[in-house]
Structure 1
Amino acid sequence: MSAVDGVAFMPPNPHPPPGRTDLRCGLVADHLDVGGIGRVIEMLTEGLRSAGIEPVVVCPRDGERSARLRALGYEVIVAPDARSAGVALESAGLDVVELHSAPAHLVGAVLGSDVPVLPVLHNTEIHYARLQWRATAALFGRAEAVIAVSEIVRRFHLERLPATPHDKIVVVPNGAMTMPQADASARSRAREHLASVLGARLTKSAVFVSLVRYDSQKNVAGTVASFLEAADSCHVPVHLVVAGEPSDWLEYCRADALRRRHPRADRVHLLGNSDAATLLAAADAFLLNSFFEGWPLATTEAVAAGLPIVVSDSGGAAELVARAPEGSMLIGNATGPAGSVSDRSARAARRRAARQRNRPELAAAVSAVATAVAQAATGGPGGPADDSYGVMVDGHARLLRAVGRTRSTVIAPSKQHSA
């Protein structure tokens, strides 16, 4: 689904020009167009320059997001292998590097340099084996500090690496920009556009959006099955729109099979990559039923857009519900206690997608939110002003300055090259 004019996430100080900064920071990550981490990199790139820190993005290949950042005047270095990564980091003149779930060849190049390192932990890595935890321990030993995006992620890593000093891992939650220009007229256009794309009548309906990749972590099949139970019982017509990258076609096919065999199949819509801001502007509520998360960026953006949320217990979920509009709900995790999620428990929950343990709770929460939406005196999303983007940028900037080698210089206009 494409964008609608007047609906976009925007930083408070859009795209400041290069100016006087005292630090060059490498934001080193994997491919930027897959998952929420790429969006975090994009937001930090725009925010850090306003904080007096010049960002330099380093990733293994180009894509839409890297091209967009270059067009805005930010430096992006593409390093597809170990040799190019080493050359790029040596010539970039970096004072500090943040590592955001970067591929091994970029991590190796960073650790082979003398640049201070600040790893950023984005998830509870339930898939890690002993060798990967050994590498993570070595990375923590090299780092002056570590950022975790939620308290659950912090505790998860401390429990598995007990030799790590507890004060070494600092929680800086992910934030989200707001949509300052998305007035009632823009939201109405977004709703009409969504109805046209779906070929559905959405008047007097409560539309829930779930912005997720189709993969086993996000539990799309289980979400669809549980939502359809709500569609059966709720007196308000409810629709679920799932949109994201089909990184696991099996998960998409399982979700679609559950949808197709249900009498209310027309209430669930499975889309590919879509404009997040437009979907959130068109929606009445947000739904996320993942098995595990670090701090879900799409949910953060939904809160920033003023939507009530229904989220399963995972990293950042309780904190997001606490600052979301009234009526938002935290439901149990489909695997059991959120702090005990494992590969085994996630596989078991995935096998019973049609009858997961939190299905009645999710259906009841969807019905309650839909009823509240229908009864609301005003038609648009609401809630307290969201400052999570500024808090995120300030948290990263503070730690980057503490860890990095400060140098006062005037940064020249951004270069555009690949290593």
Structure 2
Amino acid sequence: MNERMENNGAAATSAGRQIGVFLYRVARYVGRHLPLSHAVKSRAKARLLAFIELLQRRTHKRPEVGKMVGGIEMRPEACGLVPGLVSVILPVYNQGYLIGEAIESVLAQTYRNFELIIVNDGSTDGVEQMLQPYLSHPQIRVYSQKNQRLPKALSNAFDFAEGEFWTWTSADNIMEPRMLEMLVERLQSDPSIGMTYADYYAIDDRGELLQDPTWRAHNRPNVASGEIELPRNTAMLNTVQDNFIGACFMYRGWIGRCFGDYDPQLGIEDYDYWMRINAFFPIRHLEKKAFLYRYRVHDNTLSAQAQEHRILEKVQRLMKYEGERAAFYQQPLSYLVDDVGRKWLSRRGVAARHLQAVPAAGDLPRGPNQVSVVGISTLARSPHRFHDAGPLVVILDDDRADYVRAHDALSTGALALAPDAESAARMRLISKCPVIDISSGQALAGVQAYAKNRLFFHATRRPDELARQRPQRLLPPTEHGVLLQVDDFVQGGLENVVIDLAISLRGLGHRVAIATLGREGHAAEAARAAGLEVHSFGKRPTEQAYTDFLRTHRIDVVNAHYSLFGADICARLGIPFVQTVHNSYVWLGPDDQQAHLQADAGTVSYVCVSATAARYADLALGLDVTRMKVIPNGIDPRTIDRTHVAENRARLRQSWGIGDEAPVYLNVASIMRPKAQLQLVRAFAEVVGQAPEARLLLLGRAVEEDYLREIEAAVVENGLVGNVILAGFNPDVASFYQAADYFVLPSFWEGWSLSLGEAVANGLPCVVTDVGSAYEFYDHPAVEVVTPPFGDIIELNCANLGGYLDRRDTAFEQRLGEAMVRVLSRRGTGLDQGFIERADRAVAYRSYAVHFAELVARRQVMRQ
């Protein structure tokens, strides 16, 4: 019934969209051919678009979270995991002579739906050379990191795991061919099981069955066989000193996400992890006599005996630690809840005495066993209150809520309860927090496991002990044919991004071409001058011409920038068609939106420059969020003049006729209505009232001359003739950051602002509107984020943006002015080297290469 209602709703929305597009095209034709005034056309367009928006509006249903108690199954797609996929982790440190056999044993599995993630943990024996032949294998991803030891290598590797089921192996051990098949079968046959394990063979250093009669003699009915038959019951696992689970195991990915990191302090991270799982979820033996793994026991030398003695000491410490942990786990949680959280928990039998309402204002109460459980709307309204306030569980009950605003709170320790794959995908855009299926009968157990584990783990481990350095993906040596496609290639920021991306991909070993489907200009000349191949179609090509081009140029991936042509053709050819979403596309009319929806079916991935741009594409345009990925733009560190900072500052200030102490606010943007310089000038009067010597410098080319005249009039009207400097365009933008004290960008929409990134890199206190990449700086002490006139970006569209651009909003001007006054007391900190390294555009462009490699590999796996 529900499915039929959803289908009917989707059909009605589609019909409304088609009617809307027809009306829009008719009105556009009439407007072009009748002698109507601009004002009449503008009013008519706004009313028509508002009516069309009503026709096209999708129904957004909030799930009844209080009723969400389904079966015991945990749907992997609602956990952000790939159904049926097994993630196999293989950490390696200085065992290059063995790793080939371990890898081949994974590749020989009868169960073919797996991914193998290898992490080289700072080996010094040439392991990476041994791994080279595997870099191009479509089911293998290889990462490298500085040595951080096994627990952190495992934690880093599982951060990349996408499978419904998880396991890990070692470089010196060997999987039997049916291991994955039989362990997956066991977990699929009983959804109540959290983890399963199986018997195995013990082998010696030479790979022969172990003959040492002393090693695990109590699990070996026949010592000569090397067969290890394990206990069938784990009731004593946490209390009797014996890590009998062994190395042949598999657990559910959502459980791994709930428990998070392997413990880097104990030295027996596997035993500790099995204890944690066993405390909350059933661990069951395979219950078949099948030996599915070969575990290597190294020679009984003096050094091996000493290692065995150290392990015994570690186990003893673990047993003491486990006793303390078990006592903590026995204590009930107290829940800090809003109405959504109260309904969900009450439905699952949590007593009212354990529930406390979130206070309406002020700091949240703290408690040693406390976890917050709130709806996404509550978190989005006041994310700062939940930041670092202990374990947080957020219920994704409203897809219209601004989850991007919850970015910081979700990144400091949270778990999300999702009703579907789309909700899970939204969380993945902004956070690595675990996501579990809200409708599962195991959801409450997941919440309790997550909260109790996090509370105890972080109470007994320092942040510096848990800190990890992220590994880097090793790219396959195989060159891929990448086509960067644009409609027009004239001049501007987009064109520069495409050229830089092309050069970077070429430097990483790929064959790169740029295809233009429309006008060309200086950008095309610059690309050719840089040695790039630019193919000019001149207009939309025929399907045959486009197909011939893709085949003759051996194109493996098409990356489209503001271009939709060819998505359907690429889909038929099996070539990944990737759209880069550069902005929140608020200006798209009904026909353009329809074109994006038509191209959606053939688009395999959307690379969005910010989570804000992704959220707009998802909720305002209706594109598929499960195919979205955020790769932020970056800055070019080479443009920062590190040697002439004082000289640049003195030179420019002298040219403006001001001293070093006068506070200077810098705005870097083309002079046009969406950049809101008019509102900025009016708001700046508030600053001058506090600091009469303050200056506002508007650096940018005037795109709209009439708008420039309005700004000039506002300068005079507000008595700011000596305070506002209209500097026009200057290519030496880097020096202006060094001459300024503050940066302000009150744009109505952005993608990922280059000028904001450069300002932060230069250490300037900033005032920005809550659009584009502003969410990245919510917790930045030197950045003030101001709510724009329309509030939430998804409420801005082609029907109402004209009104917002033209209508004066004194409340917005006041918010902007007050924010600029607040930063007056702050001063720049100099270059932010940490941010410069993170925001280096080379990182972004390499991420494109990694993503393209993953898409090509996925296509190869599908063809197998």
- TM-score class, shorter-chain normalisation, is 0.7 to 0.9
- The alignment's C-alpha RMSD in Å is 3.2
- Residue 220 of structure 1 and its aligned partner are, at CA, apart by 1.9
Change (3 A) 1:89 1:248: farther
User: Does 2:689 match 1:232?
Assistant: yes
**What CA distance in whole angstroms lies between the structure 1 residues aligned with 2:581 and 2:530?**
27
TM-superposed deviation, 1:125: 1.8
Counterpart position of 2:850 = 398
- Over 3 Å counting, the alpha-carbon distance change for 1:383 and 1:345 in structure 2 is farther
User: Residues 279 and 76 of structure 1: is their aligned pair in 2 closer, same or farther, counting only changes over 3 Å?
Assistant: farther
Deviations 1:186-228 (A, max 9, x none): 22333344346x5432421222222212222212211222123
How far apart in 2 are the matches of 1:210 and 1:33? 25
Q: CA, structure 1 residues 343+110, in 2 after alignment: closer, same or farther (shift >3 Å)? A: closer
Residue 71 of structure 1 aligns with an amino acid whose one-letter code is: A
Change (3 A) 1:341 1:23: same
Q: Tell me: CA distance 1:169–1:385, structure 2 relative to 1, closer, same or farther (3 Å).
A: closer
Deviations 1:317-355 (A, max 9, x none): 121454x6x3211111133333422345543333344x5
CA distance in 1, matches of 2:798, 2:540: 31
Provide structure 2 residue ranges, at least 5 long, that are not aligned to the other structure.
Answer: 1-476, 859-864
SS in 2 for 1:359: helix
Kindly provide the CA deviation profile for residues 169-201 of structure 1, in whole angstroms up to 9, marking residues without a partner as x. Answer: 112222212247622x422333344346x5432
Task: Tell me what 1:182 maps to.
Answer: 641
SS of residue matched to 2:670: coil
In structure 1, C-alpha distance between the alignment counterparts of 2:576 and 2:813, rounded to whole Å: 46
In 2, Cα distance between the equivalents of 1:159 and 1:56? 33
- Note closer, same or farther for the CA distance 1:300–1:84 as it changes in structure 2 (3 Å cut): farther
Q: 2-side partners of 1:350 and 1:169: how far apart?
A: 29
What secondary structure is seen at the aligned counterpart in 1 of 2:512? strand
Deviations 1:107-153 (A, max 9, x none): 43565564431011112222223322221112111111111222222
1:350-361 → structure 2 map (5 Å cutoff): 350-353=805-808, 355-361=809-815
Q: What is the rounded CA distance, in whole Å, between the counterparts of 2:756 and 2:778 in structure 1? A: 9
User: In the aligned structure 2, how far is the partner of 1:188 from the partner of 1:80?
Assistant: 48
Whether the aligned pair in 1 keeps the contact of 2:608 and 2:630 (CA below 8 Å) is yes
Residue 301 of structure 1: aligned partner: 758
Q: Distance in 2 between the 1:193 and 1:109 partners? A: 51
1:148-297 equivalences under 5 Å are: 148-160=608-620, 162=622, 164-179=623-638, 182-183=641-642, 185-195=643-653, 199-234=656-691, 237-275=693-731, 276-297=733-754
Describe the superposition over 1:1-38 as per-residue Cα deviations: whole angstroms up to 9, x where unpaired. Answer: xxxxxxxxxxxxxxxxxxx7611222223555655323
In 2, Cα distance between the equivalents of 1:332 and 1:201?
32
Q: Which residue of 2 aligns with 1:48?
A: 505
2:789 maps to what in 1?
A: 334
- CA drift of 1:264 comes to 1.9
Contact 2:588 2:798 in 1 (8 A): no
The separation in 1 between residues aligned to 2:735 and 2:715, in whole angstroms, is 24
Offset, 1:368:
2.6
Paired with 2:640 and 2:621, the residues of 1 have a C-alpha distance of 45
Structure 1 match to 2:594: 134
Give the Cα–Cα distance (whole angstroms) in 1 for the partners of residues 528 and 631 of structure 2: 26
Secondary structure in 2 matching 1:82: coil
Q: Report the Cα distance in structure 2 between the residues aligned to 1:318 and 1:140, rounded to whole angstroms.
A: 27
Change in 2 beyond 3 A, CA 1:76/1:187: farther
Amino acid in structure 2 at the alignment position of 1:201: I
| 1:365 alignment partner AA | A
2:532 pairs with one of 74, 95, 101: 74
**Residue 557 (structure 2) aligns with:** 96
Gap change, CA 1:152 and 1:42, over 3 Å in 2: same
What secondary structure does 1:303 align onto? helix
Secondary structure of the 2:826 match is helix
1:84 positional shift: 10
8 Å CA contact 2:641–2:734 kept in 1: the answer is no
Q: 1:2-81, aligned counterparts within 5 Å? A: 22-31=479-488, 34-59=491-516, 60-81=518-539
- What is the alpha-carbon distance in structure 2 between the residues aligned to residue 194 and residue 356 of structure 1? 33
Q: Match for 1:267: what amino acid? A: N
Answering whether residue 819 of structure 2 is matched by residue 365 of structure 1, we say yes
1: CA distance between counterparts of 2:688 and 2:843?
Answer: 38
Q: Which has the higher contact order (CA 8 A, sep 6+)?
A: 1
- In structure 1, stretches of 5+ residues that fail to align are 1-19, 407-419
